[in-house]
Chains A and B, each alone.
Chain A
């Protein structure tokens, strides 16, 4: 038996979380360094996974399989395809930056007793989320996936509800009430989605007799497992609902602006760049993999929902007065693009959607973390409280602009590649859908540039006149993200080569071929 690399990648942050939580109250900075170290070690393991993974090899690689709850056919089965590897890489990459960006976000307030240990808790929770997200990307057993899909709500709940912006912490009762409202909303929304999925998981067991993704998919493909059309559709809806809540897709999105608005910037990044990706990833792996016919049946409705998300999210972003809520609505628009790419059922669309997941993680992280640095300096989330920042803090403004340009998918930066692929993929099969989605790029420019203009340009407001520029720690967070955004925008080939074979498999799952061009042009 070879070394269980996938288990190790998920277990390391889990162990790290326990260790971090156990650090004594007085040794606060030791907890931070421990968490950072663990996240870096996890990144090293994730890189090993990436290296050991052969894009042209089997569909699922580095597989592990053990009996777990034999009575119900639940197995501990792990395995990754190219899409999973890419997303594990993204997760492992972002967590160190999230930890570093939130370095001081959970320092205890003076007024509390010395036994209070928020710092340890904060970083332990982040690592716990990382562990659960990674194992969700690895699980090829539906039940195993379900457990961690749900369990990550617990640490997320505490991260949202327990740690607000420094600016609002302590005295402001109202902020604290808002925060717990956001946390409860997040929990209930996702719990409802999760419970409906649980019903579908049980239903799947009743129909299929086990939980193994590969076995069920194989049995469905060679006809040994016959599912009534209506059964398949109901099961599909159960799964899809949960993923659409997590993704989040209109009209199940309203938890996201609250959750992202009230939590600290690193936690907001954790939500939108990492945790939410489990939703879109699961659509690709479980919805399309297990229920191909039902997926095709539901495509028209889902495409409409995705389009509404794109346009609606962007329009609402334009109307926001709060920086973080603006980014949240922008993310809703971007998730619309991802879902559009997945359900366009073309190679370009699905490759684009996978790339979009990675690139959206990077771009939102860059924008949101810089926004967090900005907010921590002035103590306000309102756009109107800023103005002229670029005069006093040019580096901060510059990085904010690059994050914004990535959000509006400027060519040359990574998100453009994925957005264009999604658009082309959608257009190839549904031209009207493609054209409407293209409107999103104009709106994206609108909300990003309005945000930049109102906060960064114009006369310097007295409140921001003494604002310091980015510190070394903050630069260490932002610079690599920007380098990656540019690097993957100019040379996305390694990523596409990783993803392409997996996409081909998914395309064969749903038995779809790309539409042929009208003219076979001379090569």
Chain B
């Protein structure tokens, strides 16, 4: 199969993720959409790795997974503590960080 199709898929997934981040309010869903975007990138990396015939892309994909895992830990912790204090998981309710 043409590896370029994987890139199309990655672009599609990224777009879905981005749209989700922009239109959904629920922090968990936004979070999941970010994961989707990250994984879209991973897919693109792996596809490029295949296309160029070296392992750089795959290595970076592993890096991304590790970072994503760490991010999940921190992110979920923030969401949980936010939910505890606000009784809501809406990202729009946490708008105190403005000037």
Is there a contact between chains A and B in the complex with CB atoms less than 8 Å apart?
no
